[in-house]
Structure 1
Amino acid sequence: MKDYIEERVLEVAKYIIDSKSTIRKTAKEFGVSKSTIHKDMTERLPKINPVIAKQAKLILDLNKSERHIRGGKATKLKYKHVEG
């Protein structure tokens, strides 16, 4: 694996852990696709640093479990804005 990829993977993991960010927000922040972030966190990071990988996975799993709630809130705000 190239050095710049390893650096990005570790930087992305630190960002996710520190900010508890979603994959979508992280991808936007780093200017890469959601697929790249997902691959970095699920395939590359465990090979580079398993300890950090576990920490990042906990946050991503939590975000995944809460996404239906965030989606509902976004829809509610959308229609509240349209009506008002």
Structure 2
Amino acid sequence: MKDYIEERVLELAKYIIETKATVRSAAKKYRISKSTVHKDVTERLQELNPGLCQEVKNVLDNNKAERHIRGGLATQKKYKRKHE
């Protein structure tokens, strides 16, 4: 794995853990695709740092469990703005 990819993987992992970020928000911040973020923090990070990978997995699992709530809030906001 190239050095710049390793740096990006570790930086993404730290960002996701510190901010409890979603894959989508991390992709937006680092201007890369969601697929790249996902591959970085699931496959590549496992090779580099399995412990850090588990921490990221915990955050992503939590985000996945809560996504229906975020979706509902987004819809609520959308219709609230529409009626104002």
- TM above 0.5, yes or no, is yes
In the other structure, the counterpart of 1:39 is: 39
Find runs of 4+ consecutive structure 1 residues off by over 3 angstroms. none
TM-score of the superposed pair, with normalisation by structure 2: 0.98
Q: One-letter code of the match for 2:54?
A: K
Q: Distance in 2 between matches of 1:6 and 1:61?
A: 23
Alpha-carbon RMSD across the aligned residues, in angstroms, is: 0.4
In the other structure, the counterpart of 1:30 is: 30
In the other structure, the counterpart of 2:5 is: 5
Q: One-letter code of the match for 1:28?
A: K
- CA shift, 1:63, in A, is 0.3
Give the gaps of 5 or more residues in structure 2.
none
Q: Distance in 1 between matches of 2:51 and 2:81?
A: 43
Q: How does 1:4-83 map to 2 (within 5 A)?
A: 4-83=4-83
TM-score of the superposed pair, with normalisation by structure 1: 0.98
Q: One-letter code of the match for 2:16?
A: I
Task: Report how many residues are paired.
Answer: 84
Q: Distance in 2 between matches of 1:67 and 1:20?
A: 13
